[in-house]
Structure 1
């Protein structure tokens, strides 16, 4: 977790889970963030934000990377 960001900031346990379930879990565990489910390869802004978690999913909707704040 980056300096200045509060609460839980990494969800290793969500790898392989359904992206929408991961979104609900993240937003429940850290109400300071908005989780965004995106298909692998989707272009995104690379700026860091303490209130954002990108959830990368494959074409089956399964989480492919560890979701982290940023």
Structure 2
């Protein structure tokens, strides 16, 4: 994780929460990021950006990995 990013960068407490609820909490706690909800296994870019958080969900819509700035 890059240390030059502003604000909170990791949300392990959101695992098991609904994806859309988690995304809203992430954006509230760190207004410098945009949380993007995707099904686990979705293709994503591998470039690092301080303004992006992938929120991976299972088939039930629940967060499966700790969201973090990536």
**What is the deviation of 1:28?**
0.2
Partners of 1:25 and 1:42 lie apart in 2 by 22
Q: CA RMSD in A?
A: 0.7
Runs of 4+ in structure 1 over 3 Å off: none
TM-score by length of 1: 0.97
The match for 2:68 is 68
**What is the deviation of 1:46?**
0.6
- State the SS of the aligned residue for 2:48: coil
**What is the deviation of 1:3?**
1.8
The match for 2:27 is 27
TM-score by length of 2: 0.97
**What is the deviation of 1:34?**
0.2
Partners of 1:42 and 1:68 lie apart in 2 by 16
